Copies of this chain bind each other. A is one copy, B any other.
Amino acid sequence: MLIRIFVTGGTFDKEYDELTGKLFFQDSHLPEMIRLGRANLKLEICTLMMIDSLETTDADREIIIEHCRNARESRIVITHGTDTMVETARALAANVRDKTIVLTGAMVPYKFGSSDGLFNLGSALAFVQTLPAGVYVAMNGRYFTADRVRKNRQTGMFEEETPTNGPSRSS
């Protein structure tokens, strides 16, 4: 089973710049994390952008959508900042069909000892192999469908959100 991973940045990949004392992006840690997880999967990793998700624009989302559409793999993991992960998931759900797309990220940079990144990557790669076509967010050990998830900014946790109006939906 071929899996495509698109890297878009986010907390996952933030590094500490010891000269400025600021967090910044360098190369993605995905390859190192996959080695650490001893993952034996057919993965293709491609970095689309390295940005803080608070700065993700519609143009960026268009790039992500295009790459998902054009990918020959039908199973795709996207690493993404958590702040606007839900927005990107919804844009993908509205624009890409017939693929299983799982977005994941981290609350703490991978390079920080206390990161949830490796755990989340393990769960995202598992969900993408087992869930039917659709767009999902994989965080906190769970998966959420793109239209029924929000990030709780008080707790930092992702949680289910019941869609308020529109036609009913069963799952």
**A interface residues with partner B (beta carbon < 8 Å):** 11, 16, 18-19, 21, 23, 33-34, 36-41, 52, 83, 107-109, 111-116, 118-127, 129-131, 138-143, 153-154, 156-159
Contact = CB atoms under 8 A, between A and B. Distances in A.
Nearest to A14: B21
A116 B32 CA distance: 11
| Copies of this chain present | 4
Contact of A141 (B19, B113, B122, B142): B122
Given A39-B141, A121-B122, A19 B129 contact: no
Nearest to A1: B142
A158 B21 CA distance: 16
Contacts of A124: 122, 126
